[in-house]
Amino acid sequence: MQPVNWGVLGASRFAREHMGPAIHAARGARLAALATADPARAAPFREFCPELRVHDSYAALLADPDIEAVYIPLPNHLHVEWSLKALAAGKHVLCEKPMAMAAGDYGALIAARDGAGLLAAEAYMIVHHPQWQRVRDWIGAGEIGRIEHADAHFSYDNRADVANIRNRPETGGGGIRDIGVYAYGSVRFATGAEPAELTARIRRENGVDTWAQVIGSFAGLQDSFSYAALTSMRLYPRQEVVFQGEAGLIRLSAPFNAGIFGEARVEMFRKGRPELVERFPGVRQYVLQVEAFGRSLREGVPYAWRLEDARGTQAMIDKVFASEG
């Protein structure tokens, strides 16, 4: 398979530490170019990718005829603008989450994707991890019976990093957009259900949410179940998702930053049966994400997280903000 030539818009820390190396390591991918006006910020990328070509502007990278796909790790408020520009330039797009600031923004993205005949997707890497595929399969097969409740927790503490884009309202910051996308979207992915009723309690600092508690319910084709989520940028780090069924329970102990926060581990408990534990050591979900994107381009394999899927999670984020009590 001919490798996909990738370019990265912006030398962000996340691109430098995670997605840049993932593109470089992925089968069927080649990290070919980076756009940054500061040569010093390109130096760490060249440490693992010496042949990297550096453009001094985003527009210059989009004009590079050798680049087929772009990864966009820019601040949230720039995602739609540069995704549309990349699609207009004939590039496939993988954009960091949340790809938009409101569900209504997805109409333009979907129209641009379809009009250009290109692949555009949100970089929602967890759906490519086998632990989430396993959980979805177990739930779909009825391994724990009808789902009665799901709860998700994602927290970290970045209060000391006041310049972080997550702590700035003008860049689309806040914990809900940064990590609520996982606490909400993961339940949608695993169950196929959508939020029905939601109520949120939100604490803010400097115009961004730093703590959000959401309670409510989800409804699917057959099941409805209660739901609770807590996200925070001011609490001790914790990640956990639990699905409780009428006949058992599934728990993920490193559901989002698998292999970084902790070992990817899924536990299933069922009445009258031994505990089942599956571990996934060494799985690199960012690499899997890049490889899945390449297979979709080269082989037509359906991509696991379409813009329509991302729009559903954004609609839930919008609903959380609207339901604040």
Q: Give 113-170 as a DSSP string.
A: HHHHT--EEE--GGGGSHHHHHHHHHHHTTTT-SEEEEEEEEEEE-TT-TTSGGG-GG
Catalytic residues: 97
CA geometry: angle at 24 spanning 94 and 253, to 5°? 70
Q: What is the DSSP string of 182-202?
A: HHHHHHHHHH--EEEEEEEEE
The whole-model pTM stands at: 0.96
**CATH placement of domain 4-125+295-302:** 3.40.50.720
Domains of the chain, by residue range, sit at: 4-125+295-302, 130-282
Distance of CA 198 to the CA centre of its chain: 22
**285, 293 in Cβ contact below 8 A?**
no
Closest CA to 71 of 60, 86, 59, 49: 86
Distance from C-alpha of 209 to C-alpha of 233, rounded to nearest angstrom: 8
Distance from C-alpha of 139 to C-alpha of 147, rounded to nearest angstrom: 8
Q: What is the pLDDT of residue 325?
A: 76
Whether omega for the bond prior to residue 281 falls within 30 degrees of 0, making it cis, is no
Q: What is the pLDDT of residue 20?
A: 98
Could you tell me the two tokens for 112? 């641009």
Q: What is the DSSP string of 87-120?
A: HHTT-EEEEPSSS-SSGGGHHHHHHHHHHHT--E
Positions in the chain short of pLDDT 70: 221-222
Could you tell me the two tokens for 198? 């939601």
Phi, psi of 140 (to 5 degrees): -65, -30
Q: For residue 252, give the amino acid letter.
A: L
Strands of the sheet containing 69-72, edge to edge, are 53-55, 29-35, 4-9, 69-72, 92-95, 120-122
HSE at residue 114, side-chain half, CA atoms within 13 A, is 9
Q: What is the pLDDT of residue 220?
A: 84
Provide the CATH topology of domain 130-282.
Answer: Dihydrodipicolinate Reductase; domain 2 (3.30.360)
Q: What is the pLDDT of residue 223?
A: 75
Could you tell me the two tokens for 97? 């989450």
For tokens 């799985």, the residue is: 283
